[in-house]
Structure 1
Amino acid sequence: MTVLRPLFVEILAREQPLSVGQAAELACRAVGARPPAVITWWMDERQMSVAAIQKNSDDKNETISYLRWTPRMDQDGRTLTCRAAHVKLEHTTIETSVTLNLHYVPIVTLQLGSKMNPNDIEEGDDVYFECMVLSNPPAYKVVWEHNGQIMTHNQRAGVIAGSANLALQGVNRSQAGKYACTASNVEGDGKSLPVNLQVIYKPVCLATSVAIVGAAINEPTKVTCEVDAFPPPKNFQWTLNNSMGTSEIEPDKFILNGVGRSVLFYTPASEKDYGSLACRATNLAGQQVEPCRYSLLPAVRPDPLNNCSTVNLTDDSAEIRCVAGYDGGLQTWYFVEVWESKNLVANVSTALPAWILRGLGSGKSLKLVFYASNARGRSETVVMRINTLTRLALHTEANSGKAVSVDASWALGVIAGIAGTLVAIVVIALLARRRHHPPMQYEAPMQTVKAYKGAIQSTNHSPVQPDDKNPDVVPLGKDFNNGRDLERPPEPPPYGAVISPPVGSSRSSNSLHHHDMRPVTPHTPITPASDAHSIGTLAEDRRSVTSGTFSRRREVVTTRTPLLANARESCV
């Protein structure tokens, strides 16, 4: 049996790149070994424990080993080796190697600028972040996020976003929060862990308006001051400003209650102890610039309610709203009493001047009494009367609404029917008019037609040549149909012609007389009427004939004399 060592070995190329975390298969081929070679896989001089499938060709001349494994991130850039050896021959091992180029999702790390102290960033400072991306293939996009919202480049607002850096110019308190960056390549998206940006700023009062506090002489009053700041303030200062000047309140009269909150316990001893209270807090960034202000006034009973009105009224309930007056500087409750005659139906109190009264009954006439109350007493009362709806009225209103709807629908139907009828009548009238008024036809008296035919026949039998006959008529076209039924009026020619009746025919008022016509032109001498015959042609392509009477139009007369046989003259 012949023993041959392997001639060469190669790792077959792949169409797709190897990706971290995705199962892959590589093939290694050895050729020329007899008996078939044994193929093993090595990673940086260490044999891989992954089992490989080895197949031999039919002629035992070629061996292929298939490696199936899942690449890890730490294997990127390492050397993968395929070795082919012969079990019966020593020193016959040959090998081939490749450097692994693994693709993977971007690995992203975000951090503040290396020269920045994350615990000492105040309002107005410039802040920048660094986004470090490890990616194969390289990332084609980097997106920045603030508190989960995507940020865009806006240089006017001081936000400069790049692929590797984010700069915030003149940072303010609203830009504090969590920042992250996301890088993308063909393998996917990699997002960094969030980095929290803390912006140090001075305390700011949460209340935007001056609060009114009512206090009675020799009665303790509690005033609460709340501010927003980072870090939270630990020191507060209270002052009282009145006609006597500005004085600072002793620290033992107020306490720190919670984060950013101070409570003042104040007891006015006389009228001089009223005025304007101010609260200022101080933190690491400094003292509060604009203090929280309170107007300290003598506590009194509240003012009466006003502008009470019914928002919604049914057969059993009512919704009422009023406008509150001055509450006297104390906690105030608002009351409504419902009376039917002398019976108290309901008594309801709320923290706001708005009530929904139920179970009032149908068709009742009720009196409502409104007032406000605090620790100093009750306000004056306000009275309003209402009448709940009856169920019959509700049913009638519903039916009337339905009837209005039905009547509106019926009226629309009637209008549509009338309009359709009018359109149909107009169309029928137009069709009838066209049928009873056919287009105008051209007719001529029978005697005129016969005379015209006789003139044509006498002309055709005359021995005189056409130029010597001296006709005074415009000859008709060759397509004139002589065999047409004489009883049927001819179609109107472009120029209608009428010939003077022959000698001996009767002349009536319906006949045209041309023997007295003498056309005068610069080139034609005046000839007697007996020397020329005249014809008249219609200038507007038609002459209407009705009942033997010709309606006269403008006429064109053409004459030809023996002296000027070839010259034709026309006059209008």
Structure 2
Amino acid sequence: MVQAIINLVVKQSLFAAEKFSDQKESFQRFEYSLLLQVSSGSSITSRLELPVLRREDTRSLVSCFTNNNNISQQLSANTTINVLVPPVSVRIEEKRKKLVDGKIYLFNCAAEDFYPSIEYTWFLNQEILPHSKPTKGSNLSTLEIELTRHQHGSILSCRAFNPEIPDVSLQDSLVLDIYYKPVLKLELGAGLNLHNIRQSSDIYLECTADSRPALQHVRWKKDGFDITEEKKKGRLVSRTSLVIQNISSSESGRYCCTGENSEGETSSNIITVDVKFSPECSEQPENILLQKKASIQVTCGMSSNPGVEKFSWKFKNEKFEVDIPESLYTVHENTSVLKYFAHSDRDYGTLLCYASNIIGPQTKPCIFRIIQPGSGSLVIVCSTKLVSPVSVLVNCQNTKEDGLYNLQVSRLGNPVLLERNITSLKGNFKVFGLLPGSSYQARVDYLDGNNERWTSLLNFTTIELDKSIPIQDSLQESLPSVLYNV
């Protein structure tokens, strides 16, 4: 309710008759009192009181008329009533029920029935939005904003007010319902140390999800491949957890979980599971054929995490067992090479290779059976034939029909660094690209139909380069640098 008091002052002769008209036909709805006051001098004041002003009275014209006789024309004075009016309503237009993470939206806010002007302010959870400014001189305000999943459930508000009466305002609000792809987080189970996961222990991974709408599918992956539940192997899979019981070294790898909803599919962070285990043999037991008075280099390779700290060798047969001195073998990281010499019949038997690391000692040794050709256990016999300073033939025969050959050629004294490596169903090989006058070891592994491996080791030295032979001829023969069957 607004009250207006209007004072109209008319100057005239002090002795003139006094009469005022208030045009009450124009203000029939107002309750008013007309007061006449004669003051000292020649001024008479008429006071019009309008106790209740309404919204529709804005910009109304009030006129006062007066005269002091019936002959002369009336005098008049006018004024306009400017009522300050706050908005009667405000609304955010086009309230969307579904909003999407990462998209830019335009929101319009409109106010109605205000005077003389309107201003707007946008809020997000009662905080003024950055880069948004009140819009002046318009009944519409537009907000441009990029929405993110973090704003889901927030309240977007538009406040409208007349700047002449800022304490009186209206506002409209919208609860933001933002849809977004799953946000997944993968964690190792409580109490587990990612840097000390040991073989045969149990681990579990937990996958938590923030998703709108709810997740439809969850999958587990290791090294990019889906993981399926295998209860017999101790692998238990659910939407929120992966349990691996009695974990083995083969289950080391990069794990993650993936989730999908109507907005798309995403993956969690990756946890690398590095299973620690004591040394294990890299290869199956070997049967090595060795002539009497001949020597070989036996390579013992280990899988170990962390690396091997110590190697040891033993030899045993039916009559005795003895530790092999460290001076007879070398160690390089996870590999040990033993130089073994068969002096007599008592040097045939089994070589045992052991290793240990900080996790513990090896549970089962690597086994190499040293067999004398002609002892009744002959399976494979191999020989070498020097062809040129840069090539050699390797021919193998066996007493079984089905099997697979693998030939490895290395520099003598360094069996780890291979010069050539090839696998074939045939036992005849030709090696090109060797160095003239150099010593090599040829290792032929024969895997029979029973998955038993037999090994023949041969040492040879290539022919010295004859300087009388043109260099170009030698180069032509050494061009092929791969091993193939003949």
Give the Å deviation of 1:252.
3.1
Distance in 2 (CA, whole Å) between partners of 1:304 and 1:186 is 66
SS at match of 1:116: coil
1:175 and 2:175 correspond: no
Match of 1:137 among 208, 213, 225: 213
The residue aligned with 1:237 is: 312
Match of 2:298 among 223, 246, 264: 223
Question: CA, structure 1 residues 304+290, in 2 after alignment: closer, same or farther (shift >3 Å)?
Answer: closer
1:112 and 2:161 correspond: no
Match of 2:168 among 69, 74, 92: 92
Give the Å deviation of 1:120.
3.5
Give the Å deviation of 1:22.
0.9
The residue aligned with 1:22 is: 103
Question: CA, structure 1 residues 78+16, in 2 after alignment: closer, same or farther (shift >3 Å)?
Answer: closer
The residue aligned with 1:389 is: none
SS at match of 1:174: helix
1:276 and 2:357 correspond: no
Distance in 1 (CA, whole Å) between partners of 2:408 and 2:255 is 44
Question: CA, structure 1 residues 354+54, in 2 after alignment: closer, same or farther (shift >3 Å)?
Answer: same
Question: CA, structure 1 residues 279+373, in 2 after alignment: closer, same or farther (shift >3 Å)?
Answer: closer
Distance in 1 (CA, whole Å) between partners of 2:235 and 2:108 is 52
Give the Å deviation of 1:19.
2.2
The residue aligned with 1:324 is: 397
The runs of 4+ residues in structure 1 deviating greater than 6 Å are 52-56, 330-333
Give the Å deviation of 1:69.
1.2
Question: CA, structure 1 residues 67+199, in 2 after alignment: closer, same or farther (shift >3 Å)?
Answer: same
Give the Å deviation of 1:152.
2.4
Question: CA, structure 1 residues 175+82, in 2 after alignment: closer, same or farther (shift >3 Å)?
Answer: same
The residue aligned with 2:178 is: 102
Distance in 2 (CA, whole Å) between partners of 1:197 and 1:51 is 48
The residue aligned with 2:23 is: none
Contact 2:289 2:457 in 1 (8 A): no
Question: CA, structure 1 residues 281+87, in 2 after alignment: closer, same or farther (shift >3 Å)?
Answer: same
SS at match of 1:156: helix
Gaps of 5+ in 2: 1-58, 60-81, 375-379, 384-392, 400-406, 411-420, 432-455, 462-486
SS at match of 1:128: strand
Give the Å deviation of 1:238.
0.3
SS at match of 1:252: helix
Contact 1:106 1:190 in 2 (8 A): yes
Q: Which moved more, 1:204-213 or 1:161-170?
A: 204-213
Question: CA, structure 1 residues 373+163, in 2 after alignment: closer, same or farther (shift >3 Å)?
Answer: closer
Match of 1:206 among 282, 291, 296: 282
Give the Å deviation of 1:212.
0.8
User: Which whole-Å deviations, capped at 9, do the CAs of 1:474-493 have from their partners, x for residues lacking one?
Assistant: xxxxxxxxxxxxxxxxxxxx
Bigger Rg, structure 1 or 2:
1
Distance in 2 (CA, whole Å) between partners of 1:322 and 1:256 is 31
Distance in 1 (CA, whole Å) between partners of 2:217 and 2:86 is 52
1:186 and 2:262 correspond: yes
Give the Å deviation of 1:293.
1.8
Identity %: 25
SS at match of 1:208: coil
Question: CA, structure 1 residues 174+88, in 2 after alignment: closer, same or farther (shift >3 Å)?
Answer: same
The residue aligned with 1:82 is: 158
SS at match of 1:324: strand
Mapping of residues 488-503 of structure 1, within 5 Å:
none
Give the Å deviation of 1:268.
4.9
The residue aligned with 1:251 is: 326
SS at match of 1:117: coil
The residue aligned with 2:114 is: 33
The residue aligned with 2:86 is: 5
Distance in 2 (CA, whole Å) between partners of 1:154 and 1:38 is 66
SS at match of 2:327: helix
Distance in 1 (CA, whole Å) between partners of 2:319 and 2:99 is 85
SS at match of 1:111: strand
SS at match of 2:178: coil
Distance in 2 (CA, whole Å) between partners of 1:353 and 1:45 is 85
Gaps of 5+ in 1: 306-319, 334-349, 357-371, 378-572
SS at match of 2:285: coil
**Aligned residue identity for 1:266:** Y
Give the Å deviation of 1:38.
1.8
Number of aligned residue pairs: 325
Question: CA, structure 1 residues 30+121, in 2 after alignment: closer, same or farther (shift >3 Å)?
Answer: same
The residue aligned with 1:291 is: 365
User: Which whole-Å deviations, capped at 9, do the CAs of 1:39-94 have from their partners, x for residues lacking one?
Assistant: 221234443244579699xxx8xx23221210234434443221112133342222
Contact 1:256 1:262 in 2 (8 A): yes
Question: CA, structure 1 residues 374+116, in 2 after alignment: closer, same or farther (shift >3 Å)?
Answer: closer
Question: CA, structure 1 residues 143+241, in 2 after alignment: closer, same or farther (shift >3 Å)?
Answer: same
Mapping of residues 475-486 of structure 1, within 5 Å:
none
The structure with the largest helix share of the pair is: 1
Distance in 1 (CA, whole Å) between partners of 2:222 and 2:123 is 47
Give the Å deviation of 1:303.
4.8
Contact 1:239 1:246 in 2 (8 A): yes
Higher relative contact order (CA 8 A, sep 6+): 2
Question: CA, structure 1 residues 28+183, in 2 after alignment: closer, same or farther (shift >3 Å)?
Answer: same
Give the Å deviation of 1:193.
1.2
The two structures have a TM-score, normalised by structure 2, of 0.57
1:127 and 2:203 correspond: yes
1:156 and 2:232 correspond: yes
Question: CA, structure 1 residues 215+13, in 2 after alignment: closer, same or farther (shift >3 Å)?
Answer: farther
Give the Å deviation of 1:304.
7.2
Contact 1:331 1:375 in 2 (8 A): no
**Aligned residue identity for 2:301:** E
The structure with the largest strand share of the pair is: 2
User: Which whole-Å deviations, capped at 9, do the CAs of 1:264-312 have from their partners, x for residues lacking one?
Assistant: 2334555544432111222344332332222335799x9578xxxxxxx
Mapping of residues 459-474 of structure 1, within 5 Å:
none
Give the Å deviation of 1:215.
6.5
SS at match of 2:265: strand
